[in-house]
């Protein structure tokens, strides 16, 4: 059901790979709420082709950009401004990739060239995107930026590997750039810390399915779905959250505030 929360707003959605992607669901929700969007992803993801279906459904252009490539990002903001005839009101950074996880390297046996790449794609990219947007004055006054993170930035989750450290950096960039962009143009920047969610990125983590059930049992409200994450993100893009910035917002059914649940204790007692 639409409430026209984003009527007249324009935005960029990074990271829709397939139907399961959090960015895919967010794109659909933004358009349903009255927004116009531009879709972007790495050229290799676009070649996989599924994003064309989303573009059709959203009536949105696709502008390829590898977030580690400054020329691509410059081109993205120039073309987006041309397309909309001005800046955007919101951006979703829904990007994550760990090369060490992909290669099966344990946290105590990391390859640092791989780690550089993972940091660049998954955390530094937020800085690159924001710096390029600022240079092109591509985000309108009172704009809203959301990046996605995971609680492993705060608590040890062994299988999350190098991504735990990288998400901590992402959350720090959110605060540091949130200060700068807030001062300069009232642009707000927040991270949403989402429950484990079955997506391509999520399923790359060893033991992921077991962890999804554990988290479901631990959280008083259960795991938050990708659909619900999209709804929460729409709220953060809307004018109802204009004074929220530089925050890490847990969207996890209460997992982050629960020491242990009765369901988990009962299971352990068996």
Ligand X SMILES: NC(=O)c1ccc[n+]([C@@H]2O[C@H](COP(=O)([O-])OP(=O)(O)OC[C@H]3O[C@@H](n4cnc5c(N)ncnc54)[C@H](O)[C@@H]3O)[C@@H](O)[C@H]2O)c1
Contact residues for ligand X (CB under 6 A)? 15-17, 21-23, 41-42, 45, 66-68, 94-97, 121, 148-150, 194, 196-197, 199-202
8 Å CB contact between 106 and 162: no
Cα separation, 162 vs 260, in Å, equals 25
Q: In what order do the strands lie in the sheet with 88-93?
A: 36-40, 10-14, 88-93, 139-149, 188-194, 248-251
Min separation Cβ 206 and ligand X, Å:
13
- Sign of torsion, CA 230 219 203 173? positive
Pair of tokens at residue 88: 């955007």
Between 45 and 236, name the residue whose CB sits nearer to ligand X: 45
How far is the C-alpha of 38 from the C-alpha of 27, rounded, in Å?
9
Closer to ligand X by CB, 16 or 30: give it. Answer: 16
State which residue, 140 or 201, has the beta carbon closest to ligand X. 201
Considering the complex, state which of residue 233 and residue 245 has its C-beta at the smaller distance from ligand X: 233
Least Å distance between CB 150 and ligand X?
A: 4
Shortest Cβ 68–ligand X spacing (Å): 5
Closest contact distance (angstroms) between CB of 29 and ligand X is 14
The CA R_g of the chain, rounded to the nearest whole Å, is: 18
Q: Which is nearer to ligand X, 28 or 95 (CB)?
A: 95
Cβ atoms 40, 17 nearer than 8 A: no
Element at 251 (helix H, strand E): strand 248-251
Element (H, E) at 39: strand 36-40
State the nearest-atom distance from the C-beta of 181 to ligand X, in Å.
20
Q: Which is nearer to ligand X, 178 or 196 (CB)?
A: 196
**Pair 100, 161: CB distance under 8 Å:** yes
Look up residue 22 and give its DSSP letter: H
Based on CB atoms, which residue is closest to ligand X, 33 or 72? 72
Q: Least distance to ligand X from the beta carbon of 46, Å?
A: 8
Contact 255, 151 (CB under 8 A): yes
Q: How far is the CB of 195 from ligand X (least distance, A)?
A: 7
């Amino acid at each position: 059901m639409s409430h026209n929360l984003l009527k007249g707003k324009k935005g960029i959605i990074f990271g829709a790979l397939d139907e399961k992607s959090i960015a895919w669901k967010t794109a659909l929700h933004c358009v349903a709420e009255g927004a116009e969007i531009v879709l972007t992803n790495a050229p290799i993801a676009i070649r996989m082709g599924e994003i064309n279906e989303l573009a059709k459904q959203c009536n949105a252009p696709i502008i390829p950009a590898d977030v580690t490539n400054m020329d691509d990002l410059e081109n993205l903001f120039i073309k987006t401004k041309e397309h909309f005839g001005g800046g955007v009101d919101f951006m979703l950074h829904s990007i994550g990739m760990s090369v060490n996880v992909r290669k099966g390297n344990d946290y105590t046996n990391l390859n640092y060239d791989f780690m550089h790449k993972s940091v660049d794609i998954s955390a530094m990219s937020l800085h690159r995107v924001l710096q390029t947007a600022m240079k092109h004055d591509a985000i309108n006054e009172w704009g809203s930026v959301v990046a996605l993170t995971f609680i492993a930035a705060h608590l040890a989750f062994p299988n999350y590997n190098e991504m735990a450290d990288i998400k901590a950096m992402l959350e720090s960039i959110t605060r540091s750039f949130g200060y700068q962009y807030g001062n300069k143009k009232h642009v707000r920047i927040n991270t949403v810390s989402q429950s484990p969610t079955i997506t391509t990125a999520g399923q790359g983590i060893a033991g992921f399915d077991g962890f999804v059930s554990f988290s479901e049992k631990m959280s008083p409200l259960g795991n938050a779905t990708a659909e619900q994450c999209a709804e929460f993100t729409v709220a953060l893009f809307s004018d109802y959250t204009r004074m929220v910035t530089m925050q890490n917002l847990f969207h996890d059914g209460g997992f982050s505030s629960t020491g242990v649940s009765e369901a988990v204790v009962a299971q352990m007692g068996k």
